[in-house]
Amino acid sequence: MKKLLIGVVLLIAAAVVYKEMGRGGAPVLRQISGEMINPYPPGSSLHAQQQEFVDRFNADPALRERFAGTFSSKGLYAEVKFALGRGAQSLDGPSLVKVTRAMAAMIPRLPQKSCAKLIRPRDDFDRELGNDMQSALERLPPVHHRNLWDFYLRALKAEVGNAPIIPVDTVKRDRALQHLGEKFPGPFGQRIAGVLQNPVAASDEDACWAINAFTHNSTQLDPESAEAMSRLIWAGGE
């Protein structure tokens, strides 16, 4: 279960970043200055929120220098998983829980077919999934969108600034995993076990239910366990 959660949330976040920050490999950074470009036109539903992220990115010379040679969405995508994991090792617990809640809010807004893909081996640049992610994100309450991009920006800053790493508390981590497992007694646990054993063979309905249940319930634990679970699924680890 631990490895599933780690992989799934990172895949979701990476897909969102890829889709939003440059569609189909379009440039998202100016080659000369290294400044970020807002992919949303003025007047679109997410332009203002995205511009806040863009302005904060462009105001940081270290970030511009670090990503000055990364000009496309595919190039940025290659940085996403590392940056998110590095950020989760250093950022505060409430921020981690907020971004997990953003993911938990977005998953139910996906069509079942795309939702099921999140738990299976897949093409990271699945255009259909990217479009569905975009639609789901645009229907999120603005607070979730802001929390997602605030976390990503702070994760990039943690990577570039080599922020201190918070030691893993194995006692809290194991307790969080235990508490999460308690959310799935009897037939619910059997249903999830079936998906985990063979996610490719699982029905779309079962696969989608599993990733939705995992992510949502991770945010519904007691505050200490929710933080430990969020740190685990974003930062990875054993």
Burial of 139 (0-12, 13-18, 19+ CB in 10 A): exposed
Output the pLDDT for position 236: 64
Could you give the number of structural domains in the chain? Answer: 1
Q: Scanning the structure block, which residue is given the tokens 């950022």?
A: 91
Q: What is the pLDDT of residues 188-236, one digit of tens each?
A: 888 988 888 888 899 999 999 998 998 899 999 999 999 998 888 787 6
**Whole-number pLDDT of residue 24:** 44
pLDDT of residue 91: 92
pTM greater than the 0.95 cutoff? no
CA distance 193 to 190: 5
Amino acid at 176: A
Residue 124 is predicted with a pLDDT of 60
pLDDT at 120: 82
Query: From CA 88, how far away is CA 67, in angstroms rounded?
Result: 20
> Among the residues of the chain, which ranges form H helices?
2-21, 47-58, 61-66, 73-88, 93-106, 112-117, 127-138, 142-161, 170-181, 186-197, 204-219, 223-235
Cβ burial of 151 (10 Å; 0-12, 13-18, 19+) is buried
Q: How many CA atoms lie within 13 A of 171 on its CB side?
A: 0
Report d(CA 238, CA 106) in Å as an integer: 27
The stretches in the chain having pLDDT less than 70 are 1-34, 69-79, 81, 122-125, 236-238
Provide the pLDDT for residue 98: 93
* Domain of residue 121, residue span: 2-235
The whole-number pLDDT of residue 56 equals: 92
pLDDT of residue 2: 47
